[in-house]
């Protein structure tokens, strides 16, 4: 279960009334694109249409609808000085009270989206691996934390998929196409085995291995000797490389998570066009 799956069940499965908010049209600059949706309950929210004054005005309108029993409403808002923003665009917003069947439809759709999330395999549940899992539990990915050591997995408190595996490379060979792999185990030999497996499958969106330029060079030599000259050109090593000299696990994890998410979402805009069109049609 992902963090969002848990939140989805809690929010939409409750008895409180909910207003569905959708950006139906965007002109000029806007914090979010057309099709973005948010859900407003009397004392809670699910999703965001971009924050700021735009979201504040829309939430106020939705709360008024809930209080007054209004079923639907529309807003046409300039994103300029008139409302205290400086984006310069304009948005049209649809607001509608949700029926029970509509709630269930949203739960089913969001669950399907969760099932289709890209998988990120964190191969190693040490300090950095657990810190990465801690961050990725909040991201739109299915994070899988894999380790051979039960005691290390037990220390992870993140809401991610944890798998105790005596042969962790099996997870790599069974991973969905387009998965990302972050290799940072307790053993350099195991790192080499898992990294070469992730490179060998040929369909990973990202393969990263913790270490230095020296470790990368040793892996290249190892692949030449043990993997028929397997190329490591697609490997990221070191991972999370920046100008920062801070080596605390949480800092390294933040840079690595950003690196992986960049790799996974670089083509997201084009892929989201179909979903956006469906959302707009449903809001009409």
Provide mean pLDDT across the span 89-94. Answer: 92
Q: Is residue 277 part of a domain?
A: no
- Both 82 and 124 in one domain: the answer is no
pLDDT at 279: 47
Q: Is residue 270 part of a domain?
A: no
| b/e code 208-236 from CB counts within 10 Å (16+ = b) | bbbbeeebbeebbebbeeebeebebeebb
- Both 123 and 228 in one domain: the answer is yes
Least confident of 143-152, 178-187, 241-250: 241-250
Provide mean pLDDT across the span 240-257. Answer: 94
Domain extent, residue 100, equals 11-111
Q: Is residue 239 part of a domain?
A: yes
Provide mean pLDDT across the span 39-45. Answer: 94
- Both 129 and 82 in one domain: the answer is no
Tell me which of 48, 80, 111 is where a domain ends. 111
- Both 56 and 37 in one domain: the answer is yes
Residue 233 pLDDT greater than 80, yes or no: yes
- Both 187 and 220 in one domain: the answer is yes
Residue 221 pLDDT greater than 60, yes or no: yes
Q: Is residue 30 part of a domain?
A: yes
pLDDT at 185: 97
Q: Is residue 280 part of a domain?
A: no
Q: Is residue 205 part of a domain?
A: yes
Percent of the chain at pLDDT above 70? Answer: 90
User: Model confidence at 266, in pLDDT bands (50, 70, 90)?
Assistant: confident
pLDDT at 269: 46
Q: Is residue 136 part of a domain?
A: yes
Condensed to tens digits (0 to 9), the pLDDT of residues 135-179 reads: 999 999 999 999 999 999 999 999 999 999 999 999 999 999 999
Query: For residue 182, what is the domain's CATH number?
Result: 3.40.50.720
Tell me which of 51, 81, 111 is where a domain ends. 111
- Both 138 and 261 in one domain: the answer is yes
Q: Is residue 188 part of a domain?
A: yes
Give the chain's domain count: 2
- Both 127 and 87 in one domain: the answer is no
User: Model confidence at 271, in pLDDT bands (50, 70, 90)?
Assistant: very low
Condensed to tens digits (0 to 9), the pLDDT of residues 123-139 reads: 999 999 999 999 999 99
């Amino acid at each position: 279960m992902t963090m969002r799956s848990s939140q989805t069940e809690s929010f939409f499965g409750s008895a409180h009334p909910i207003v569905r908010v959708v950006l139906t049209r965007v002109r000029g600059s806007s914090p979010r694109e057309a099709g973005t949706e948010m859900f407003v309950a009397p004392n809670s929210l699910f999703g965001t249409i971009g924050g700021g004054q735009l979201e504040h005005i829309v939430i106020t309108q939705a709360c008024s609808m809930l209080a007054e029993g209004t079923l639907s409403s529309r807003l046409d808002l300039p994103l300029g000085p008139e409302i205290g923003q400086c984006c310069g665009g304009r948005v049209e917003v649809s607001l509608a009270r949700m029926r029970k069947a509509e709630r269930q439809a949203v739960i089913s759709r969001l669950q399907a989206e969760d099932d289709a999330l890209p998988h990120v395999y964190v191969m190693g549940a040490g300090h950095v691996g657990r810190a990465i899992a801690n961050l990725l539990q909040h991201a739109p990915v299915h994070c899988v934390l894999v380790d051979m050591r039960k005691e290390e997995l037990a220390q992870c408190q993140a809401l991610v998929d944890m798998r105790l595996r005596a042969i962790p490379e099996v997870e790599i060979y069974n991973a969905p196409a387009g998965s990302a792999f972050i290799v940072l185990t307790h053993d350099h030999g195991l790192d080499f085995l898992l990294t070469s497996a992730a490179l060998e499958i040929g369909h990973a969106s990202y393969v990263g291995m913790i270490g230095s330029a020296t470790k990368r060079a040793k892996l290249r030599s190892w692949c030449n000797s043990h993997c028929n000259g397997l190329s490591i050109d697609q490997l990221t090593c070191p991972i999370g490389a920046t100008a920062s000299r801070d080596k605390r696990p949480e800092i390294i994890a933040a840079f690595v998570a950003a690196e992986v998410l960049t790799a996974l979402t670089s083509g997201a805009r084009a892929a989201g066009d179909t979903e956006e069109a469906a959302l707009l049609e449903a809001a009409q």
